[in-house]
Amino acid sequence: MSLRRILAIMRKEFTQIRRDPRSLAIIFVLPLVLLLIYGYAVNLDVKHVPLCVFDRDGTQDSQDLLKAFQATEYFDVVHVARNYREVVEKIDTGECEIAVVIPHDFSQDLREAGGTSVQAILDASDSNSANIALGYTQAIVAAYSNRVQVEWAQRRGLPAPASVLDVRPRTWFNEDLESMATIVPGVVALVMAVVGAFLTSLTISREWERGTMEQLISTPVKALEIQIGKLIPYFLIGMVDTAVCAAAGVALFRVPFRGSWAALFGSSALFLVAVLSLGYWMSVVAKSQLAASQMALVATFLPTFLLSGFLFPIDQMPVVVQGITRALPARYYVTILRDVFLKGTPVRMFASELVALSMYALVLVTLATRAFQKRLE
């Protein structure tokens, strides 16, 4: 093994990257674009839900209840329906996601019969948003009901029925329930996975396809030296990207950073070695750039997006799929990143994740090295 030859390969690789504007774009622009799009657009907060009201009662009481809907930022009253057909139409077209229908004897029942009900029709096709919006609706109606009861009791000189159970939530790690704080650590993993596997799979299969790999092999450089020289530039780029993404997440999106930078870079290094080797291995196994990059994309982007737990919680998946997530280095990396960013837990708390990452790195490096040497023979 010669350091000089490794450095020569590295220099060649750097020159190639520098001369390809699109590789440069992936390296420098992609992380920021990803961060901006995911940071701003991936938002599960449910606010300003378009609401349609249909007041068949038209009394002071019914208007009081509807005012409560107008007053919160969770709902925007975008339509006042005059008949039921309009309600159905608004929900069908998706212009409104929820409709509140007040029956025509609302006020009368409330004052004389002791109780009444209002109807909430929801477009529940987006079950998560609908569920959250329903929760807000329940809270508004419950608050109104409570107010009516207090007034009723006061008029009769009775003790007001107190709200007997006060559930006090305390949210840890992400106090304001910002979905950005949840998303941004995941985006770092996504960027690493893509930059790592995708770029390496392309650069090496291109050498095969153009026949330049044979030229390289005919020089005194050894297989391992090629591999190291080829991977180090991407490793360095990946580390810089990690730093840029993390810094942008903290500075731009105000994501807290409570752990240690050493833990961040240590785990990122392990993860990078794993995905770089994955890309390298695929480019050796696959014959063409098309196949290699397809494989890399299939193996990194969508699985990291869907299976790493960065958006969809793993504990809600069926057991078999949970098992599949264990085969993904990204899963462990995302867990560590969340710990480092939000929880600030000491390293021993995610030691098992670090061990898993190291194992994957080791296995993938071995696979890539073996496959490469075998192909050369």
Partner 1 sequence: MSFLRALGRIRVLLKKEFLQTLRDPRTRFLLFGPPVIQMMVFGYAATLEVKHVAFAVLDHDNTQESRDFVAKLKASRYFTLEKYVRQKEDLRNGIDRGDFLIGVQIDSGFAQDLRGGKGAQVQVIVDSTNSNTALVGMGYVSQIGQAFAQEYSRQQMGRLSPATMNLVPKVELEERPWFNEGFESRWFFVPGVIGNLMLVLVLNLTAFAVVREREIGTLEQIMVTPIRRWEFILGKTLPFFLIGVFDATLVSLVGTLWFGVPFRGSVPLLAGSTMLFLLSSLGVGLFISTISANQQQAMVTAFFFIMPATTLSGFGTPISSMPPFFQKLTYLDPLRYYMIVLRSVYLKGVGLDVLWPQLAAMSVFAVVLLSVSVMRFHKSLD
Considering only residues 167 to 186 of the shown chain, the ones binding partner 1 according to CB under 8 A are: 167-175, 177-179, 181-182
Does 107 participate in binding partner 1 (rule CB under 8 A)? no
Output DSSP code: residue 94.
T
Does 260 participate in binding partner 1 (rule CB under 8 A)? no
Residue 40 belongs to what H/E stretch? helix 30-41
Q: Residue 75 burial by CB count (10 A; 0-12/13-18/19+): exposed, middle or buried? A: buried
- Residue of 21, 43, 23, 41 lying closest to 33 (CA atoms): 41
Nearest approach in angstroms of CB 239 to partner 1 is 21
Residue 182 belongs to what H/E stretch? helix 179-193
| Nearer CB in complex with partner 1: 179/222 | 179
Q: Which of 41, 73, 157, 218 binds partner 1 (CB under 8 A)?
A: 41
Interaction residues for partner 1, span 302-341 (CB under 8 A): 302, 305-307, 311-313, 315-318, 320-321, 324-325, 335, 338
Between helices 351-376 and 329-338, what is the axis angle to 10°?
150
Does 206 participate in binding partner 1 (rule CB under 8 A)? yes
Token output for 277:
């080797």
In the three-class reduction of DSSP (H, G, I as helix; E, B as strand; rest coil), residue 133 is classed as helix
| Nearer CB in complex with partner 1: 128/219 | 128
**What is the spatial distance between Cα 168 and Cα 155, in angstroms, rounded to a whole number?**
30
| Nearer CB in complex with partner 1: 127/218 | 127
In the three-class reduction of DSSP (H, G, I as helix; E, B as strand; rest coil), residue 343 is classed as helix
Count interface residues toward partner 1 (CB under 8 A): 120
Nearest approach in angstroms of CB 172 to partner 1 is 6
Does 202 participate in binding partner 1 (rule CB under 8 A)? yes
- Residue of 243, 236, 245, 274 lying closest to 185 (CA atoms): 245
Interaction residues for partner 1, span 114-153 (CB under 8 A): 114-132, 134-135, 137-139, 141-142, 144-145, 148-149, 152-153
Does 220 participate in binding partner 1 (rule CB under 8 A)? no
Does 49 participate in binding partner 1 (rule CB under 8 A)? yes
Between helices 289-307 and 179-193, what is the axis angle to 10°?
160
Q: Which of 221, 269, 297, 367 binds partner 1 (CB under 8 A)?
A: 297
Does 342 participate in binding partner 1 (rule CB under 8 A)? yes
| Nearer CB in complex with partner 1: 181/364 | 181
In one-letter notation, the amino acid at residue 164 is V
